[in-house]
Chain A
Amino acid sequence: MLWILIALIFLGSLGYVLGRQRAMASAGGDRRELHSLPNYYGLNVTLLTLVPALLVLGLWLIIQPIAVERMVERQIPNPYMEQVENPTLLMTEIRRLALGIDTAIERGFLNAEDASNLASDSDIRAQLAEAGVALGADVSETVLLAAQSFRALNATGNTWMLITVFALAFAGLAYAYARTHKDLRARNRVEYAILSILVVASSLAILTTVGIVLSMLWDTRNFFQLYPWQDFFFGLEWRPSFEGGSELGLIPLLWGTLYISLIALLVAVPIGLFAAIYMAEYATKRVRSVAKPLIEVLAGIPTIVYGLFALITVGPMLRDYFAQPLGLGDSSSSVMTAGIVMGIMLIPFVSSLSDDIINSVPQSLRDGSYGLGATQSETVKQVILPAALPGIVGAVLLAASRAIGETMIVVLGAGAAARLDLNPFEAMTTVTVKIVGQLTGDTDFSSPEALVAFALGLTLFVITLALNIFALYIVRKYREQYD
């Protein structure tokens, strides 16, 4: 693989030099005669050499394994296929054997001729183990035949891949070289290539989102085939049991999520906003230059560390000084613990975004207000905050999305017990924690208990998406009014 890339890059560089020279030659050595700078002619040839070849190489590498497996599968006789419990496992076995033989040849334990003459009655498993390849089971005649044809097909595929890729590279090189002439608009072509790179980069980001949603949609659909959706969306109990008869109600988890997020926002929004107002309007330059980075350090702390803080400090403190004296419970993991610690985590989000927004309110508005005899706090309250409101709402909703998606602080701060309760000193849990819970350990991906994680994930995704759309709507609506 590596040498193919090196060879292609060499061809590309060669194309650059040739293209540049030919362009200069066609202009009689006077670069002012050229339509574009000489470099662009070189780059144009390089691009035409490399791009089609690399594209085909990439596609080939994706498609070949799939095609080969299909073809091998078709060769396995039907009666044998019917005996096998799990066709996917059979395919894995064949692939392992084929790759194992290749490895053995590479390491010198087998020569190519021996490899193609291997017989199923000889102890292949032992032979390969010698070469450092571990096989799961003894090799049957069918598997060996399939593996041999797997190897053969792969070898042919690889040869054709090489031929195609290099043919394309040479064809591109020759074509671009032949077209190179002083009037060729090389600069525009290279610009176009750069544009395509930018377009590909942004579509990759979008396609990834779509891909994530689609993969979750698929498994969610599987889940709803096994478990009624009414019971999921309206169920008040969360009691998964892998022996069957689970109750997988969303409501207690959603309640925990929203309750903890609400407390977190009640902590983060006032503190963050007041800090931002102080930083933007009152603090002197020196205070600001020290305090602002200090606040932002909070944003860099990993959430698991916040979780530890919740577990060993905040939780016991709340229990000893509030929950027990008030008779509200004696659990150190509680909604309150997780909410407060998560709120602390969100302070820098709110404050740093709000600070930027307050700073971007034009100075002329402040002057106008001071010029009318308003004090600083009147100006902040009546002019600056209303002007900055859409941005601040956006910051708060962004913080809310973070709170809803947070996991580690909840695990360590609020526990893992799904419960529907109003008491904030009771342990509860959130959607994210249960997603982790359902997928860790030995999971069977055909049971509703595991698949429910995807339904939970999708629900969470929809909630945060709705929140973001709502934030955008708010910001747009007010911006129209104020700009």
Chain B
Amino acid sequence: MEGSNMNDMSQIDQGVAVDTLKMRARGVDVYYGDNHAIKEVDVDIADKTVTAFIGPSGCGKSTFLRVLNRMNDTIDICRVEGDVTLEGEDIYDPKVDPVQLRAKVGMVFQKPNPFPKSIFDNVAYGPRIHGLAQNKADLENIVEKSLRRAALWDEVKDRLTAPGTGLSGGQQQRLCIARAVATSPEVLLMDEPCSALDPIATAQVEELIDELRSRFSVVIVTHSMQQAARVSQKTAFFHLGNLVEFDDTDTIFTNPSDPRTESYITGRIG
């Protein structure tokens, strides 16, 4: 029941959302050594939209997510071909500094990975290295805003100097989201952000994703089809390194055009 409610809501939102293109991928191939992990993938990421990547394990959805902020650069044997643009600029152009790119395309990981620092320093990490704050008051302001946006401020405002690793799993993940939000990225990539969380923390993070949509475009990789249906407006279904279908979430879940999508959604493959 809840799922269908959320669907109705997102349908309404979709009409309101400005459908401008943020990122565009054309003919993307990824190789790990000799292994052809992603084959000829075309995806458009719209601004102020949540795009979900679904598919069985090993289908390449996380790999493709990491193409979007060049995180695959840190893996020696990984090779990417094809065009990926952020607001019309090729992000694989040699002139582009991957470090700058990652400040614009933030990332939240599967397992909460707070740094061994205080809660404040965790959130202030990005603004500090990118020089986003004019002064100390400004930095405090950014940290507070980010923590509020991650719906964590009320829980941690009295212990900002406590280590971030001392929080609960759900709080840690929201801290990581606050940390990513603090650099004011244009796109936020989330790699199965709820897979290590309990149902309550998952609900909190999902609610948060819906709020983040008002400012960023969000790309989320998820194993849970219910989650994709609840939070996203666009859904891409990956299978064995191919992009099988990419469409509005409602269409994918109610009227998929490819039989493989239908099989996956109804639980016959995957």
Contacts and interface: CB of A to CB of B under 8 A. Distances in A.
Interface string A337-376: 0000000000000000000000000101111111111110
Nearest to A387: B116
Given A367-B109, A481-B116, A372 B125 contact: yes
B114 to A, nearest CB: 8
Contact of A371 (B165, B166, B180): B180
A362 B111 CA distance: 11
Q: Which 5 A-B pairs have the closest CB atoms?
A: A373-B103, A371-B107, A364-B113, A373-B102, A482-B116
A271 interface: no
Given A364-B109, A364-B111, 17 more contacts: A362-B113, A365-B115, A368-B113, A371-B69, A371-B71, A371-B106, A371-B108, A372-B103, A372-B126, A373-B101, A373-B126, A373-B130, A375-B99, A382-B129, A386-B117, A481-B165, A482-B165
Given A373-B183, A481-B163, A368 B99 contact: no
Contact of A373 (B109, B111, B114, B129): B129
A374 B106 CA distance: 11
A378 interface: yes
Contact of B102 (A362, A364, A372, A386): A372
A483 interface: yes
Contacts of B101: 373
Nearest to A375: B99
B183 A383 contact: no
A112 B179 CA distance: 94
A119 to B, nearest CB: 86
Nearest to B69: A371
Nearest to A371: B107
B80 to A, nearest CB: 16
A329 B99 CA distance: 53
Given A367-B109, A370-B71, A483 B165 contact: yes
23 contacts: A366-B74, A367-B71, A367-B113, A369-B115, A370-B71, A371-B71, A371-B102, A372-B125, A372-B179, A372-B183, A373-B101, A373-B102, A373-B106, A373-B129, A373-B130, A374-B125, A374-B126, A383-B116, A386-B115, A386-B117, A481-B116, A481-B163, A482-B165
B139 interface: no
Interface size class, chain A: 20 to 34
Interface in B119-172: 125-126, 129-130, 163, 165-166
B266 to A, nearest CB: 34
Nearest to B121: A382
A365 B179 contact: no
Nearest to B100: A373
A369 B107 CA distance: 10
A113 B10 CA distance: 115
A359 B227 CA distance: 35
A372 B249 CA distance: 29
Contacts of B165: 481-483
Nearest to B112: A364
Contacts of A373: 99-104, 106, 126, 129-130, 183
Nearest to A383: B115
Given A373-B99, A373-B100, A382-B125, A368 B106 contact: no
A366 B126 CA distance: 13
B74 A370 contact: yes
A362 B115 CA distance: 10
